[in-house]
Amino acid sequence: MSRTVLTVVGARPQFIKASPVSHALLAHGGFREILVHTGQHFDAAMSDVFFEELDIPPPKYNLEVNSLGHGAMTGRMLEKLEEAMIAEKPDWVLIYGDTNSTVAGALAAAKLHIPVAHVEAGLRSFNRRMPEEINRVVADHLSATLFCPTQTAVDNLKDEGITKGVHHVGDVMYDVTLAAVERAKGRSRILEIHGLSPKSYAVATIHRAENTDDPARFAKVMQWLSDRAKETPIVMPVHPRTRKLMEKSGLTPAGVRLIDPLGYLDMAWLTHNCAAVFTDSGGLQKEAYFHRVPCVTLRDETEWVETVEAGWNRLWINEDYKPRRDISDYGTGKSSEKIAALLSSAG
């Protein structure tokens, strides 16, 4: 008998994470998946081309909730997600990561007594000033099944008293990255467009609130990038919010090539061929490792401690990398297949 999975996503990284799981649910058989886009991150690039790149169908629901404060956004999402869940009567609600869409999906499902499955469960930065940390904790405590990318994530949940329904499946982003590199080889022209040679440049991205909401902190980040650009050419796809802040503050990193946000395949190919990554993005830290590119994280802590312990990543407040090794925790690129099998056998 077919089981209905309602997948809640709201930000571009969540669509990317959902794509291999959607493929795995389809390949496994016995699932009907309904994709709901909350609209949290409105992005004109979220078009048919984007879905074609990921090889997934467009969402059945687009709730168009964006450009609001945390409370208003989450509340509006709750209202609309509840309506979709009542209409579709799913057997599972599947959520990803740590956004307002994540926590709204968890709350709406829990109040309707629909089991919640959380992909990327158990991550902790232990900084409750980050809205993402609050979202992670709440989502995990409302979830019936928790798919952890690492053993550290499993241990974090155990420390909070969560042991039932916890599975270490590896990281779905590894699945995505391996597939994206193969597709990008024959399709992406990003290096030619910008006149770049492999391993001759670094990639930078800045968008986290902790770096963009504090003027002094933002100035420090811009100066750090300017200093690095004296040593290595830097290409920086600029998040719309970051670009607005640059224009408002008059602060831009000297010597850094600022470009528009990229499609997923172009970004994967740009990262795959770079010499280093400088970012405050949680996802890009891991992707740098998947591409075997060293990363500097422009934050004072990271939820991806494995990348630091394995010597592929370091915080900008630290001078040196630890000795480098591979990370077995992230799996072999088959995490999505494990998730589909576990959902099929659960509850």
Residues 254-303 have pLDDT tens digits of 999 999 999 889 999 999 999 999 999 988 999 999 999 999 999 999 98
CB atoms within 10 A of CB 262: 18
Q: How confident is the model at residue 44 (pLDDT cuts 50, 70, 90)?
A: low
User: Do 316 and 339 have their domain in common?
Assistant: no
Residue 13's pLDDT is 84
Side chain identity at residue 304, one-letter code: W
From CA 147, how far away is CA 25, in angstroms rounded?
A: 15
The sheet that has 202-205: what strands, in order across it? 256-259, 234-237, 202-205, 276-279, 295-297, 313-315
- The pTM of this model reads 0.85
272 is catalytic: no
Greatest CA separation for the chain:
61
Range of the domain at 203: 182-329
Residues 294-346 have pLDDT tens digits of 999 999 999 888 999 999 999 999 989 999 999 999 999 999 999 999 999 98
Residues 173-204 have pLDDT tens digits of 999 999 999 999 989 999 999 999 999 999 99
From CA 208, how far away is CA 131, in angstroms rounded?
A: 10
User: Do 278 and 325 have their domain in common?
Assistant: yes
Give a yes or no: residue 56 inside a domain.
yes
Side chain identity at residue 293, one-letter code: V
Domain count, the chain: 2
User: Do 137 and 29 have their domain in common?
Assistant: yes
From CA 40, how far away is CA 38, in angstroms rounded?
A: 5
Q: How confident is the model at residue 170 (pLDDT cuts 50, 70, 90)?
A: very high
306 within 8 A of 152, measured Cβ to Cβ: yes
User: Do 128 and 253 have their domain in common?
Assistant: no
User: Do 167 and 188 have their domain in common?
Assistant: no
CB atoms within 10 A of CB 216: 7
User: Do 321 and 341 have their domain in common?
Assistant: no
CB atoms within 10 A of CB 165: 19
- As beta bridge partners, residue 33 has 5
> Which CATH number is 227's domain given?
3.40.50.2000
From CA 342, how far away is CA 316, in angstroms rounded?
A: 38
Residue 55's pLDDT is 85
224 within 8 A of 202, measured Cβ to Cβ: no
CB atoms within 10 A of CB 237: 19
User: Do 336 and 302 have their domain in common?
Assistant: no
175 within 8 A of 334, measured Cβ to Cβ: yes
The pair of structure tokens assigned to 20 is 């291999």
Catalytically annotated residue among 23, 168, 207, 291 = 207
Give a yes or no: residue 176 inside a domain.
no
User: Do 148 and 209 have their domain in common?
Assistant: no
Residues 76-119 have pLDDT tens digits of 999 999 999 999 999 999 999 999 999 999 999 999 999 999 99
Q: Is the pLDDT of residue 45 over 80?
A: no
Residue 48's pLDDT is 65
